Amino acid sequence: MSDNVPIDKNIIDAAIKELHVDMTRASIREVNRLISVLENRTGLRFIRMEFGIPGLKTDRIAIEAEIEALKNLDVANQYAPFDGVPVLKEAASEFIKAFLDLDIPPSCCIPTNGSMQGCFISMAIAGHRKASAGKILFLDPGFPVNKLQAVVLGLQSLSLDFYDCRGGRLLAKLEEILEGGEIGGVLWSSPNNPTWICLTESELEGIGSLLTRYDVLGIEDLAYFAMDFRQDYGRPYCPPFQPTVARYTDNYITLISSSKMFSYAGQRVAIAAISPVLMEQKSADLLPFFRTDRIGHAFIHGGMYSTTAGVAESPQYGLTALFRAATAGKLDFISPLKEYARRAEFMKKVFLRNGFHLVYDNDAGIPLADGFYFTVAYPGMDGNELLLALIHYGISAITLLTTGSSRAEGLRICVSITGQDQFEDLEQRLQKFQIDHPVR
């Protein structure tokens, strides 16, 4: 297949122009659209690593539970409770006990239309809980759409980059920023999209105590729950447990996504686990935006009710079944996910032996886990040049710049939909790329 690359420059330039893609800041969706057009026009199957979508099937347990709810529970005609179906709230609370070792009652487990909605509402609350502290701090790099959410909410944001900044250094920098008093919320994901670094227990402990000391809300996006495969987080009620800031502060909203963990992205259902202390906490500054001063009420009534009137009901039963099966030890949801690690291990090596290097290249001094993403760069090129050059070789990704990274040289590589059948193509295309782009 490497005969077909590089693709004729004119074809690519024409498509970029036609679709109005600004290659200095192309979003995931724009790259996605461009590549689809190029695949159509050239007949070449790209190695698509731009989009972080699940590449595995949803377990039958969820599908069958949804069908059962549709057939026998009459879920379609009536609004579900806006704070979630009671069985899901209970199953979520028990799942959290089993896999996070936390006691969060069902009333504090709120189903959302994906963690996207959980992040959106959490940021709205974080930005208005204290009138004097309306900015969001992103621990970066991160999920590009979180930045868009802050923009849509009219909230200003700051960025603290993990690069060269872990452990004590991370905490010192964080404290320096929080001391300023203008931050209402701190948002991060761990395992991290896009670097796949994983915050350690001691980092989370430090972050938690800073959140408490400066009374700032922590928004912990567990989009890749239990996917640090160096540890076995998959045994219910047994240590080790998925690390979480919730162990170290009461100022947290922890978002538990089903999209990657259960490959259940299409039905848009996740859980926002709200600290029981925060749930009942009052802040008069919330009143003008939520007509209530209670944070829990603001999340449910001001947030869930006013944006979507809750979550579609049958997916809530699907997620209930998945949580219950995992908690009962009847669903090993980790093993299928390890396919991503196998892909990452192989694909990383292919990049490294063809002249690339990792940008975020270690995890607080130890080797990175293999997971959903990793980050690469190529000598003498910045990220925008590299992305455009790789597209000529039938390879797509997104730049680290769009993830809020300070490292202009890098790309994010997502392994999720690149199966073994494309490994040889990847190797050949990167070889050809390296030959055509000799490093001075």
Q: Is 79 in the site for a second copy (CB under 8 A)?
A: yes
Closer CB to a second copy, residue 204 or residue 300?
300
Residue from 106, 208, 302, 394 binding a second copy (CB under 8 A):
302
Candidate residues 21, 182, 289, 434; the one interacting with a second copy per rule CB under 8 A:
289
Among 35, 109, 272, 311, binds a second copy (CB under 8 A): 311
SS3 percent helix, strand, coil of the chain, rounded to 5, is: 45, 15, 40
**Applying CB under 8 A, which of residues 66, 161, 220, 370 lies at the interface with a second copy?**
66
CA 20, 26, 32, 34 dihedral sign is positive
Distances (CA, A) of 366 to 56, 138, 305, 360, 369: 29, 24, 44, 12, 9
CA-nearest of 315, 309, 283, 307 to 296 is 283
Angstrom distance (rounded) from CA 226 to CA 333: 9
Residue of 311, 222, 300 lying closest to 262 (CA atoms): 222
Q: Which of 11, 23, 36, 82 binds a second copy (CB under 8 A)?
A: 82
DSSP character for 229? T
Q: Which is nearer to a second copy, 313 or 409 (CB)?
A: 313
Q: Is there binding between residue 219 and a second copy (CB under 8 A)?
A: no
The reply on whether position 334 binds a second copy by CB under 8 A is no
Judged by beta carbon, residue 149 or residue 192, the one nearer a second copy is: 149
Shortest Å, Cβ 235 to a second copy: 24
- Considering only 26, 124, 222, 223, the residue that binds a second copy (CB under 8 A) is 124
Q: Name the token pair of 184.
A: 């209402």
37 near a second copy, judged by CB under 8 A? no
Among 363, 336, 58, which residue's Cα sits nearest to residue 191?
363
Nearer to a second copy, 250 or 293 (CB): 293
A 10 A CB-CB count for 398 gives 26
Please give the single-letter amino acid code of residue 302. G
- Using the rule CB under 8 A, which residue among 16, 34, 80, 227 binds a second copy? 80
Question: What secondary structure does DSSP assign to 78-112, as a single string?
Answer: SPPPTT--HHHHHHHHHHHHHHH-----GGGEEEE
Q: Which of 303, 383, 404, 410 binds a second copy (CB under 8 A)?
A: 303
Among 23, 53, 165, 364, binds a second copy (CB under 8 A): 53
Give the ranges where 246-286 is alpha helix by DSSP (H): 276-280
Among 313, 363, 370, 427, binds a second copy (CB under 8 A): 313
Please tell me the distance from the alpha carbon of residue 298 to that of residue 344, in angstroms, as a whole number: 41
Work out whether 67 is an interface residue with a second copy (CB under 8 A): yes
Distance between CA atoms of 309 and 80, rounded to whole angstroms?
9
Smallest gap from residue 392 Cβ to a second copy (A): 27
Instruction: Establish if 36 lies at the interface with a second copy (CB under 8 A).
Output: no
CB under 8 A: which stretch of 40-48, 101-109, 300-308, 372-380 binds a second copy? 300-308
CB 377 within 8 A of CB 409: yes
Binding residues (CB under 8 A) for a second copy: these are: 29, 53-54, 56-58, 62-63, 66-67, 70-71, 74-80, 82, 113-114, 116-117, 120, 124, 145, 148-149, 151-152, 154, 259, 263-269, 288-291, 301-303, 305-315, 318
